[in-house]
Amino acid sequence: MAKASPLPLRIADEIRELIRSGRAPVGTHLGTQELADQFSVSRSPVREALQLLADENVLQRHANRGFFVRSSRASPGKSARNAEMPERSNAYRKFADDWLDNRIRDEITEQFLRNRYHLTKAQVTDVLMRAVREGWVERKPGYGWRLLPVAKTAEAFEQIYRFRMLIEPAAMLEPSFRIDRAVLAEQRRTQEEMLTSGAASMPADRVVLNGSLFHEEIIKMAGNPFFVRALEQANRMRRLLEYRAKIDRERLRTQCSEHIQIVTLLEKGDVIEASYMMRQHLSGALARKSPRVHGPEGHSAPPKD
C-alpha cells in the first residue's frame, strides 16, 4: 500500500484521540461526512484515515454500513504529526493566548496564521483542526475562519460555573433520568486511573477534557438533549481559560475523589444525594479555579478595577 499523505495521518491521530478520551466508545459508528465537518476537511482524507485505522484493527468496517470503533485502546500513531507535536502544541498555545488576550481579530485566514506563527501549511491545518475540535474556531462560508466567543474574563468564567450549578444537579432530578451502569463503570475507571497514576503526568488539556467528559456523560442520563447541548457549549467556552490555568495536581485529587463519590451514589441509586453532591462539587471547583481569585496562571489576581 502506498504511504499515506500527512493529512489523513493527522486525521487518524485525531480519531485515535476521540477514542482514547471516551468520546467515541466501542461500537460507535464513525460517519465520514460527520468527521469531515468536524475537522473542516473533505471526505476523501477522512475515508483514508478511517481505512488506516481499520488496517490497525482500531476500527471495524462493515459492508454498506461504514466504520465502527472496535477497540478503546487506540495507541498513539506514528505519523509526522507526532514528530511535530511540540511545535504544533506551542503554536496552538500562542494562538489561543492571542485570542484570549484580544491580540487578534475574530476573523482570520490561514495565511495570517502562517505568517504570525511561522508555520507550514500542514502545521496550520493541525492547529485549526484542534481549535475546531475544541469548539472555538469555525470555517466561514467561502473563505477564512471565525473565532468564537469564549470565557475570557473572570466574570464570564464564574457565570459559566454558576450556570452549571443550576443545570447539572437539576438534570439529575428529572423524571427522565436513567442510570447507565456501563457509563458509570467507564467513568469510575477513568477517574481511578487519574487518581492513582495518570493525573501526575497527564497533560493539562487531557485533565480538563476528562473532567468535562465526566460531567457530560452524567447529564446525558437525563435523556434531554437540551441539557447536554447547554453543558457542552458551556464547557467549550471555559476550556481555553482552564487550559491556560496552572493545574494544581493535589487539588486534582480532590476533584477525582469527588467524581468517584458521585459515581458511587448513582450506582447505589441515591440520585437525590448525588445531585446534592454535584452542586457541592461544582461550588468547590469554582472556588478552587476562579481566575477572580487565582488569576489565569494560578497566582493571585489583581484587584478588580
pLDDT tens-digit readout, 103-131 = 999 999 999 999 999 998 888 988 898 88
In a domain, 239, yes or no: yes
| Distance of alpha carbon 36 from alpha carbon 39, whole angstroms | 5
Distance of CA 225 to the CA centre of its chain: 18
**Residues 136-156, mean pLDDT to the nearest whole number:** 85
Residue 214 grid coordinates: 465526566
Is pLDDT above 90 for 214?
yes
Domain co-membership, 158 together with 282:
yes
Q: What CATH number is attached to the domain comprising 59?
A: 1.10.10.10
Highest mean pLDDT among 7-16, 63-72, 183-192: 183-192
Cβ–Cβ under 8 Å, residues 277 and 265: yes
| Distance of alpha carbon 117 from alpha carbon 94, whole angstroms | 8
Q: What CATH number is attached to the domain comprising 262?
A: 1.20.120.530
The range of the structural domain enclosing residue 165 comes to 154-294
Cβ–Cβ under 8 Å, residues 127 and 10: no
Domain co-membership, 202 together with 222:
yes
User: Which residues pair with residue 61 across a beta bridge?
Assistant: 67
Is pLDDT above 90 for 278?
yes
pLDDT confidence of residue 219: 96
- pTM of this structure: 0.64
When mean pLDDT is compared across 63-72, 163-172, 175-184, 288-297, the lowest value belongs to 288-297
Q: Per DSSP, which regions of the chain are E strands?
A: 29-30, 59-62, 66-69, 107-108, 137-139, 145-147
Is pLDDT above 70 for 152?
yes
Q: What are phi and psi of 242, to 5 degrees?
A: -70, -35
Q: How many domains does the chain have?
A: 3
Domain co-membership, 205 together with 284:
yes
**Residue % of the chain over a pLDDT of 90:** 40
Residue 31 grid coordinates: 460517519
pLDDT tens digits along 223-263: 999 999 999 888 888 877 776 666 666 778 888 999 999 99
Domain co-membership, 42 together with 62:
yes
Last residue of a domain, one of 45, 69, 93: 69
Handedness of CA 118, 122, 128, 133 (dihedral sign): negative
| Distance of alpha carbon 277 from alpha carbon 218, whole angstroms | 13
Last residue of a domain, one of 20, 45, 69: 69
User: What is the DSSP secondary structure assignment for residue 175, as one 8-state letter?
Assistant: T
Handedness of CA 14, 17, 19, 22 (dihedral sign): negative
pLDDT confidence of residue 303: 29
Angle at the Cα of 62 from the Cα atoms of 58 and 64, rounded to 5 degrees? 140
